[in-house]
Chains A and B, each alone.
Chain A
């Protein structure tokens, strides 16, 4: 019983990691840039949903849609202002820019919303589902369902829409994509918007489970570990990496001495990096000179 319970809470935690990791991977695949501010985008998304739902008293679904929409705009603006000037610079510089952006977002949200934790009022808060002896919170079920829904819609988006196909083309080869008439710059902006809104969704999903405060973006680092474990650049890998880390963390928290659950993600990451340097689902090729 205990194991199933842990498995479910691990899976829902893992789904959140997976969604943030998905944001990382989307940006990396399309632009080969690593966005270290992904966790902070998630934090902003959670705060915006709090503002819309709990402060401005929007209906719940409308508030969420407004939060996700405004996060898409923030993602696009960020790309336009801070990332586009960095095209052609070394990867390391771009990484540093996004780290800096993360700090700016954190300071800005501390300034706007203050540092006391906030709670998001959800219609499903505190309700539980009881099957035999297993108690599952509605939040966890919502997280699982929403993740499946989001992944499915992303798959459909990439497979059946022109924009989705253009994104795939740009991620495979930017130059070739440009030659066939895809505006790679627009695609990059769009990818940032999509990625920011996926993170915002993750933030809204985790908001009822953990509190909303400016420091919650730090779970972005664990999500990053998840993205690497899954092989950076593989969309299903991101979700699977997130699940692995989420479940392992829950079990480490129960069966190992204190302190281990915080480092589980990183220990798994190091082991994966030593055993398979480019993650489990790799998309690397060796260059021939």
Chain B
């Protein structure tokens, strides 16, 4: 087991805790950079999708995992980002500017939603965001002049100046760049006073407030950032799916996003990425599974959401910290090898925290 000798208070907020971390992350980056050399186009596309989900996952993680606000409507921001980006692109706005504007626009919408959302907590908040996402879905369906309604909307091919971003390799690198940028922003945010305030709000609103944290402001910032990042992911997703339809940003999508942060592990950025990998490759796994199942089971229409639901329930009951929590356990098993005790990671149950008292 490695003990870090701390000689300076600033060591606590460094991006990398020790040399080993730098080495492993550099290795990962190196591998990701050279992946296009030996992977087929299909898998590159899937990886790009994983990166996009990762961006949205980091966004939702900031809100749900770090600020403790549940959103059942994040697909709406994905949709807003996607439609906004596609609309601007079709009016010949350059790629980067359009993507930035889409991000800013969904961040603004998130900030506006935060105003009523600040007054409500817990389930009321979850339902308010759910209501918001249903309303957005209806707007996307009925505002035909902008969104094309049910006919859908063709997304123009992306290009950066004269360079086309259409090819699988270049799109892969674009998504990777944005994911790294997003994670960097999130990491920096989390070691700043704002990020610490967000964590404090998650752990106890009352004690955060008594330490002088402005609850409303912190929550609004978290909402706005989270929806902005999700909007960015939406803009990239628009290119991935190529043709936008309002019903791709429905409740199921919101649940998928939540599933991502829950299965990945709430309260860790690693978790957001693990969750994105999980969600990105689950449909492939289900497709593989389908081949080996008897025909009647395999062609049940609700099979995929059903498996999603089953995984969600099992993870929440047996491993509430998700893939990241499991990884921590495996790692500490090897670190403390002969002395590992299961009780180290025993879940602590809290007493029922009533929401009727606030």
Binary CB contact string for chain A from 52 to 63 against chain B (1 if under 8 A, 0 otherwise): 000000000000
Residue of B whose beta carbon sits closest to that of A112: B300
Confirm or deny: A1 has a beta carbon within 8 angstroms of a beta carbon on chain B: no
- Inter-subunit contact A103/B119 (CB<8 Å): no
Distance to closest chain A CB from B263 (angstroms): 10
From A103, A174, A228, A286, contact of B127 by CB (8 A): A228
Across-interface contacts of A228 in B (CB, < 8 A): 124, 127
A101: shortest Cβ distance to chain B, in Å? Answer: 6
Chain A contributes a number of interface residues (CB within 8 A of B) equal to 55
A88 touches B350 (CB 8 A): yes
B216 to chain A, nearest CB (A): 13
Q: Number of contacting residues on B, CB 8 A?
A: 53
In Å, the complex CA distance between A97 and B134 comes to: 21
A82–B317 CB distance below 8 A:
yes
Whether A111 is near chain B, meaning CB under 8 Å from some CB there, is yes
Complexed CA–CA distance, A233 and B123 (Å): 12
**Residues of B with C-beta under 8 A to A100:** 308-313, 316
Cβ–Cβ contact B320 & A93, under 8 A: yes
A97 x B313 contact (CB < 8 A): yes
B128 touches A88 (CB 8 A): no
Considering the chains assembled together, what is the distance between the CA atoms of A34 and B124 in angstroms? 11
Residues on the B chain within 8 Å of A93, using CB: 262, 316, 320
Q: How far is the CA of A265 from the CA of B210 in the complex (A)?
A: 37
- From B132, B134, B262, B355, contact of A32 by CB (8 A): B355
Contact code string A73-103 (vs B, CB < 8 Å = 1, else 0) = 0000000001001111111110111011111
Residue A145 interfacial (CB < 8 Å): no
Q: Are B300 and A107 in contact (CB under 8 A)?
A: yes
Contact, CB under 8 Å: A89 / B320: yes
Residues of B within 8 A of A257 (CB): 142
Known contacts being A259-B141, A270-B128, is A85 close to B317, with CB within 8 Å?
A: yes
B313 touches A104 (CB 8 A): yes
* B352 and A88 form a contact (CB under 8 A): yes
Quick check: B124 and A277 within 8 Å, CB to CB?
yes
**Which residues of chain B are near A225, meaning CB under 8 Å?**
127, 131
Q: A263 touching B134 by the CB < 8 A rule?
A: yes
A171, closest chain B residue (CB): B356
A101 x B358 contact (CB < 8 A):
no
A117 at the interface (CB under 8 A from B): no
Please report whether the interface of chain A is mostly helix, strand, loop or mixed according to DSSP.
helix
Closest to A224 in B: B127
Chain A residue contacts of B210, Cβ below 8 A: 289
B306 and A103 contacting across the interface, CB-CB below 8 Å: yes
Residue in B116, B131, B308 with the greatest tally of chain A CB atoms within 10 Å: B131
Cα distance A85–B354 when bound, in Å? Answer: 18
Q: Which residue of B lies closest to A215 (CB)?
A: B302
Known: A96-B316, A277-B119. A104 touches B297 (CB 8 A): no
Interface residues of B in 86-126 (CB under 8 A from A): 116, 119-120, 122-124, 126
Interfacial residues of chain B within 164-192, with CB under 8 A of chain A in the complex:
none
Q: Does B159 contact A (CB under 8 A)?
A: no
- Given the interface pairs A82-B317, A92-B70, A106-B305, the reply to whether A285 lies near B138 with Cβ below 8 Å is no
What chain B residues lie within 8 Å of A283 (beta carbons)? 356
Q: Does A138 contact B (CB under 8 A)?
A: no
In the assembled complex, how far is the CB of residue B183 from the closest CB belonging to chain A, in whole angstroms? 24
Residues of A within 8 A of B (CB): 32, 34, 82, 85-93, 95-97, 99-104, 106-108, 110-111, 115, 174, 214, 221, 224-225, 228, 232-233, 257-259, 262-263, 265-267, 269-270, 273-274, 277-278, 283-287, 289
The 26 sampled A-B contact pairs (Cβ below 8 Å) are: A32-B355, A32-B356, A82-B317, A88-B350, A88-B351, A89-B349, A91-B123, A91-B353, A91-B355, A92-B122, A95-B123, A96-B262, A97-B317, A100-B309, A103-B306, A103-B310, A104-B310, A111-B306, A214-B302, A221-B251, A224-B127, A266-B134, A270-B132, A273-B127, A278-B120, A287-B206
Known: A103-B306, A111-B300. 11 other contacts (CB 8 A): A92-B126, A99-B309, A100-B312, A101-B313, A102-B309, A107-B309, A228-B124, A263-B135, A266-B135, A273-B120, A289-B206
Nearest first, the 5 A-B pairs at minimum CB distance are A107-B306, A103-B309, A100-B312, A266-B131, A88-B349
